[in-house]
Amino acid sequence: MAENTHDPIIDTAKAWLVQDPDETTGIELDTLVRDAEAGSEIALDELHARFDSRLSFGTAGLRGRIGAGSARMNRVLVSQAAAGLAAFLRAREDSPSVVIGYDGRTNSDIFARDTAELMAGAGVRAILLPRLLPTPVLAFAVRHLGASAGVMVTASHNPPQDNGYKVYLGGDDDGSQIVPPVDGEIAEQIARVARDENVLTLPRTAGFETADESVVDAYVAAAAALLPRGAEQLSIVYTAMHGVGWQTFSSVIEAAGYSGVTSVAEQQEPDADFPTVSFPNPEEPGALDLSFALAREVGADLIIANDPDADRMSVAIPDASSAEGYRQLTGNEVGWLLGWDAARKAKAAGVTDAALACTIVSSPALGAVAAEYGLTFVETLTGFKWVSRVPRLVFGYEEAIGYLVNPDAVKDKDGISAGVAFLAVAAEAKADGLNVAQMLDGFTETFGFFASDQLSVRVTDLSVIAAIMAELRENAPSTIGGVSVTSVDDLLDGSGDLPPTDALRFTVADGSRVMARPSGTEPKLKYYIDVTAPAEQSERARGVLTSIRSDLDAFSKRIAER
């Protein structure tokens, strides 16, 4: 017991507790401290879990579980982040400004108001969006209001107990998310605040501005313009996944003069508990079960789903061979059709210097589209902070259901605009007597057969991931899936215009490709497998895909069991 009371982590926790303005996390931490001082090893271990590290501020900002401590999302950590960002902006500009948005997650509104008050107190013009809104509205507002920066309080599609803090930059960055070295510069300022300041004594004021609805109206008008008035009507089922998408999506649809959208009522309004889904991500098994049921009931032509902050979008279409009666399209399939549409429009407008872009782990099919239409094709590192910065971009996507369809308005993935853009594509096809499944068949006939798959190797010991990557680098397989490996690119050394990243790219003799990279957010290694073939050889290509996956699985298990 005596040893527990002298553990320095208890003093660290007490110092944190002194500056915590939140009653809930204050009581939570005070209880842990008292229990640890009384000899509880469980409480002491929990204090170490909360204070031995700190949520790192990177190119995705902050994201983590809500709770007391430097390794959790809370008002102390957010206040330090806001003060650090304010210092960065003040050093960068004479009269900086920031626009702040928030979604419906636990404490999002509180974190946003703290940020606004601290920014204003630090001499930064702070503009708070009028209510909880989708992330793409915040990204739009940075450019629309000419702000120096933007902050969005959201954890996107993370578990319910999480929240986060995402930063955008205006000016020359044009409303894109931060990239190195800026993330490091902001992190240094945050670390200085955490080291030298008590957040309760930081200057703050309620003298920030609150934006009016004209910002939202401008976003709605920009998104509605993607759907031509008088477009062919389809029956649509929409789900907001308990997030903030419905009000904005329905406003956009109404502004475009469109009808026939039925919302999943149980998931329509924001609810931080996400009661009807085990994980609030449209990609997760079971997340669209209520959408499938409603679609069967109304005979929907299309299901459109947003994640909780509406920056991602998923689509499902009728499929008689599926038990649900609908098939969820992959992120790549949606990307192909949206990219094809963007290329056609660029050609029709006489634009020849436009670019299509996707991340290195997305399907290479978009490259075939670009080649067919004489456009530039660019592959970027994962994340829209990179996709959005591609010059002359007309469309960009990543396979994790993120799409940038309106770069003149939003330099980030935008699930609202993407849903509207896909609806426009499907409506145009219907006017020509086609459905989405037939459009995908037409894509194969035009550009060839493309298929993708993923293999995730989840671990409890992170050293296993390092061991697998090391073995792949030192003893790269000569064949995968029964086909010879023709080249191996180590992206850790950089590749072309790509910054260095911990990933390997294997090219196979038949044109197939494998990407291997550690996940940036979870304890797992991910393989991204892409095969391509002439349309008439689709069955052979599917067999290659299965064989490659089997070989990679066996290889990874062998290394993990050493």
Q: What is the mean pLDDT of the segment spanning 524-537?
A: 94
33's CB contacts (< 8 A; 6+ apart) are 10, 13, 14, 17, 43, 47
Confidence at residue 521, expressed as pLDDT on a 0 to 100 scale:
66
Beta bridge partners of 518: 525
Q: Is residue 2 predicted with pLDDT exceeding 50?
A: no
Tell me which DSSP letter residue 233 carries: P
Confidence at residue 497, expressed as pLDDT on a 0 to 100 scale:
74
**Cβ(51)–Cβ(76) below 8 Å:** no
Confidence at residue 561, expressed as pLDDT on a 0 to 100 scale:
84
Average pLDDT of the chain is 95
Question: Any idea which of 2-16, 125-139, 387-401 has the lowest mean pLDDT?
Answer: 2-16
Confidence at residue 386, expressed as pLDDT on a 0 to 100 scale:
95
Q: Is residue 535 predicted with pLDDT exceeding 90?
A: yes
Identify the H or E element spanning 43.
helix 41-51
Confidence at residue 520, expressed as pLDDT on a 0 to 100 scale:
72
Question: pLDDT grade, residue 495 (50/70/90)?
Answer: low
Question: Any idea which of 79-88, 400-409, 463-472, 512-521 has the lowest mean pLDDT?
Answer: 512-521
Q: What is the mean pLDDT of the segment spanning 416-434?
A: 97
Domains of the chain plus CATH, in order, are 1-52 (no CATH), 56-212 (3.40.120.10), 213-447 (3.40.120.10), 448-560 (3.30.310.50)
Burial grade of 361 (CB within 10 A; 0-12, 13-18, 19 or more): buried
Q: What is the pLDDT of residues 273-316, one digit of tens each?
A: 999 999 999 999 999 999 999 999 999 999 999 999 999 999 99
What is the rounded distance in angstroms from the CA atom of residue 175 to the CA atom of residue 557? 43
Question: pLDDT grade, residue 172 (50/70/90)?
Answer: very high
Q: What is the pLDDT of residues 36-66, one digit of tens each?
A: 999 999 999 999 999 999 998 877 789 999 9
**What's the pTM?**
0.95
What is the rounded distance in angstroms from the CA atom of residue 464 to the CA atom of residue 555? 12
Confidence at residue 218, expressed as pLDDT on a 0 to 100 scale:
98
Confidence at residue 496, expressed as pLDDT on a 0 to 100 scale:
67
Q: What is the mean pLDDT of the segment spanning 450-460?
A: 91
Q: Is residue 548 predicted with pLDDT exceeding 70?
A: yes
Tell me which DSSP letter residue 530 carries: E
What is the rounded distance in angstroms from the CA atom of residue 380 to the CA atom of residue 23? 44
Confidence at residue 69, expressed as pLDDT on a 0 to 100 scale:
97
Confidence at residue 522, expressed as pLDDT on a 0 to 100 scale:
74
Backbone angles phi, psi at 259, to 5 degrees: -135, -175
Burial grade of 177 (CB within 10 A; 0-12, 13-18, 19 or more): buried
Catalytic residues: 156
Backbone angles phi, psi at 408, to 5 degrees: -75, -15
Q: What is the mean pLDDT of the segment spanning 418-423?
A: 98
Confidence at residue 352, expressed as pLDDT on a 0 to 100 scale:
86
User: Among residues of the chain, what percentage have pLDDT more than 70?
Assistant: 98
Confidence at residue 270, expressed as pLDDT on a 0 to 100 scale:
98
Q: What is the pLDDT of residues 301-360, one digit of tens each?
A: 999 999 999 999 999 999 999 999 999 999 999 999 999 999 999 999 999 899 999 999
Q: Is residue 216 predicted with pLDDT exceeding 80?
A: yes
Q: Is residue 3 predicted with pLDDT exceeding 80?
A: no
Question: pLDDT grade, residue 85 (50/70/90)?
Answer: very high
Instruction: Outline where DSSP puts E strands in 261-373.
Output: 261-263, 302-306, 313-318, 326-328, 355-359
